Amino acid sequence: MTPPASPVVVITEDSGWHGAELQRAFEQRGTAVRFASLRACRLDLTGAAPSVVLPGLGERVPAGVLVRDVPGGTLEQVVLRLDLLHALRELGVLVYNDARVIERTVDKALTSLLLRRAGLPGPPTCVTESGVEAQAFLERETAAGHEVVAKPLFGSLGVGLRRLGAGAELPDAADVGGVWYLQRYIETGSSGGGWRDFRVLVVGGLAVAAMIRHGASWVSNVAQGAHCQPAAADPELEHLAVAATHAVGAAYAGVDLVRDREGGLHVLEVNGIPAWRGLQGTTGIDLAERVVADFMARTAT
C-alpha cells in the first residue's frame, strides 16, 4: 500500500479564520493540512539522526511548515519553540516564514537596524537601556519640534504605545522591560485630517494588496478601531514594501508605512507573521490563495 502523502503543517495555537482560509486554499490544490502547536512538538535526539516530532505525523516529515504564531512563555520555552523551527529548516523542511525571519521581525530594534542598513526611509530611532540616553533623545526631538513614540520592543496590534511631547516623562524602566525603544512621531499628510497609514502585504517579492488605515486615534491599527479602504496603486509604496520584506529576509510580510506632510514615505514596521483578514475584506483579494501559491512554489524547488 502506498503511504499517504505528507501533509503541510500549519503551526498555530488557534486555527481560527486564517487557518480555515489556508486549509481551503491548500485543499483546493490537493494538499492535506494539519494544525499543530509548537507546545506539542519536540526534538528527538535519541537516535542516529536528529528529528523534530510533530503531533499526528508519526515518522513522516511534513511537506512544509507554515508558521502562523509562536506562543509566548518563559525565555526557555520561547527559545525551544524557535529551536524547533530552526531544526526543521536545518533538516531540509520548508519553514514559511522561518525562525530567522520571526526573530528579526518580532524585535523592533533589529527590524529597524535592518531597514536602516538597507537604506530605507524611516524615522530616527533610539534603542537603549540607559534612561539618560533615552531622556537625551526625547529632549533633542522635542526641542526640534517633534514628538516621540515609545513602543514596546516586543509588541503588536498597537498595544502599549505612548506618544511623548515636550516635558513628558519617559515610561518607567519596569514598564518597558528595561529597554526604551523611542521613535520620532511622523505627522501624516492626510488632506482630510485625522490619522492614517498604510498596510501592504508582500508575498513572494510582490506587493499583492494594500490598504489605507484611517485611525480612530493616532494609533492606526485595525485592532484599535481603524477604518480601512483599498489603497490606489502606488509604485513607490509597493517598492518600499517589497524592499522592506527583502531586508528582513521574509518570504511574505505585512509592512506598515506612513506618508509625512511633505509627501515622503517612511517604513515603520515589518510583521513576519502577518494577519490579513482586514486587508482581504477591504480589497476583496483572496490572500490565502496568494500565500499558498507562493508556499507551494517553494516546496517544488
Question: If you write DSSP's letter for every residue of 238-263 in order, what string do you get?
Answer: HHHHHHHHHHHT-SEEEEEEEEBTTS
Of the candidates 15, 1, 8, the one whose C-alpha atom is nearest the C-alpha of residue 30 is: 8
Same domain, 199 and 280: yes
pLDDT score of 12: 96
Of the candidates 19, 260, 17, the one whose C-alpha atom is nearest the C-alpha of residue 9 is: 19
How many other β-carbons are positioned within 10 Å of the β-carbon of residue 112?
22
In a domain, 137, yes or no: yes
pLDDT in tens, 256-299: 999 998 899 999 999 999 999 999 999 999 999 999 999 999 99
Q: Are 252 and 291 in contact (CB under 8 A)?
A: yes
User: pLDDT band at residue 188, thresholds of 50, 70 and 90?
Assistant: confident
In a domain, 115, yes or no: no
Give the total number of structural domains in the chain: 3
pLDDT score of 49: 87
In a domain, 222, yes or no: yes
Same domain, 69 and 132: no
Q: Look over the chain and give the mean of its residue pLDDT values, rounded to a whole number.
A: 90
Q: Give start and end residues of each alpha helix (H) in the chain.
A: 16-28, 75-90, 99-106, 108-117, 131-143, 235-248, 277-283, 287-299
Residue 52 C-beta-side C-alpha neighbours within 13 Å:
27
Same domain, 288 and 257: yes
Residue 52 sits in a domain whose CATH number is 3.40.50.20
Across residues 232-253, what is the average pLDDT?
96
* CA trace torsion 109, 114, 118, 119 (10° rounding): 10
Same domain, 170 and 80: no
Same domain, 154 and 196: no
**Which among 147, 166, 184 is the end of a domain?**
184
Residue 226 sits in a domain whose CATH number is 3.30.470.20
Same domain, 180 and 197: no
Range of the domain at 160: 125-184
Distances (CA, A) of 132 to 220, 222, 261: 30, 34, 31
Q: Are 35 and 9 in contact (CB under 8 A)?
A: yes
pLDDT score of 191: 47
DSSP 188: B
In a domain, 109, yes or no: no
In a domain, 108, yes or no: no
pLDDT in tens, 42-91: 999 998 888 999 998 877 889 999 999 999 999 999 999 999 999 999 99
Same domain, 211 and 175: no
Same domain, 55 and 148: no
Q: Is the pLDDT of residue 126 over 80?
A: yes
Same domain, 198 and 262: yes
Higher pLDDT, 100 or 225: 100
**Which among 96, 116, 150 is the end of a domain?**
96
Same domain, 247 and 170: no
Of the candidates 147, 259, 263, 138, the one whose C-alpha atom is nearest the C-alpha of residue 210 is: 259
Task: Look at the pTM and tell me if it is higher than 0.85.
Answer: yes
CA angle at 88 for the pair 200 and 49, rounded to the nearest 5°: 170
What is the percent of the chain with per-residue pLDDT over 70, rounded to a whole number? 90
In a domain, 104, yes or no: no
Of the candidates 184, 269, 266, 199, the one whose C-alpha atom is nearest the C-alpha of residue 231 is: 199
Same domain, 282 and 209: yes
d(CA 195, CA 188): 6
